[in-house]
């Protein structure tokens, strides 16, 4: 039985308490028998205050509190499409030198929703929600995100999103300019909580500006796994069966444009 099984922590705590209780009774047994008074005293020791099980009870309570907080946080992570896409460039977000921060994500998700369209976005979100519930079933209620990302249907959803982005950026420069507008539309104000906003310092606005270099970091990571040359025959055949077009026709143009941008920025 794994730690993620529903009720496993409670069973573990209860099992420890029962074993301690039985051990204390054995110590007080005379001729294999324990008096009622001894049982009552032992119950008071095990069930009440005292040093014997205080650490166990405290540890169990902390564990339950941690799980409650984790589950509460997990319940707010419902932007499944955003999580699927963001995973591809999570290492960029973790690199402070990249200049790309989580404050950019909201605008990127807005652009992603516009690329997919409301109807498709909502459909994919619904499918992802069902998968997230499936990979959490029988556990402590917290989504097992790695299992979610590796789910066959999620991998197909990820492919569908990347195909949509690649097709949208077939007219590369106009679409890149459009994305820059969306990504830099966040004003000169920033929230400080509630409905209060203050003007962002010029240096902050400049640091957060989403330009060609940041675009290349994000899109390069997004399409790193889409190089048709790296696909084996089975992968290529599956892709062709799903989309009725070769992967070169879908991903080739955007990969070429990203290579050109990379060369231009390196010059």
Tens digit of pLDDT for each residue in 143-155? 788 899 999 999 9
Highest mean pLDDT among 8-17, 189-198, 253-262: 253-262
CA distance 218 to 261: 13
pLDDT at position 77 is 56
Residue 7, pLDDT above cutoff 50:
yes
Residue 163, pLDDT above cutoff 70:
yes
Tens digit of pLDDT for each residue in 101-113? 877 888 999 999 9
Tens digit of pLDDT for each residue in 235-257? 999 999 999 999 999 999 999 99
pLDDT at position 195 is 42
CA distance 42 to 22: 9
CA distance 175 to 184: 14
């Amino acid at each position: 039985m794994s730690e993620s099984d529903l009720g496993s922590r409670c069973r573990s705590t209860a099992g420890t308490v029962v074993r301690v209780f039985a051990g204390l009774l054995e110590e007080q047994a005379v001729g294999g028998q324990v008096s009622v008074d001894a049982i009552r005293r032992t119950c008071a020791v095990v069930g009440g205050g005292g040093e014997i099980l205080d650490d166990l009870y405290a540890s169990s309570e902390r564990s339950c509190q941690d799980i409650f907080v984790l589950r509460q946080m997990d319940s707010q992570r419902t932007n499944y499409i955003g999580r699927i896409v963001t995973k591809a460039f999570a290492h960029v977000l973790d690199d402070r030198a990249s200049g790309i921060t989580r404050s950019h994500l909201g605008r990127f998700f807005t652009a992603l929703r516009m690329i997919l369209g409301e109807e498709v976005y909502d459909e994919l979100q619904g499918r992802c929600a069902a998968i997230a519930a499936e990979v959490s079933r029988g556990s402590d209620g917290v989504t097992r995100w790695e299992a979610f990302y590796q789910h066959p249907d999620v991998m197909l959803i990820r492919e569908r999103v990347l195909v949509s982005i690649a097709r949208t950026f077939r007219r590369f420069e106009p679409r890149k300019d459009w994305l820059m507008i969306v990504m830099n539309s966040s004003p000169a104000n920033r929230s400080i909580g509630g409905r209060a906003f203050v003007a962002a310092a010029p240096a902050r606005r400049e640091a957060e500006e989403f330009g060609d270099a940041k675009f290349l970091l994000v899109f390069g990571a997004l399409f790193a796994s889409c190089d048709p040359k790296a696909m084996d025959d089975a992968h290529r055949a599956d892709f062709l069966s799903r989309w009725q077009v070769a992967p070169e026709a879908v991903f080739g143009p955007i990969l070429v444009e990203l290579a050109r941008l990379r060369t231009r920025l390196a010059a």
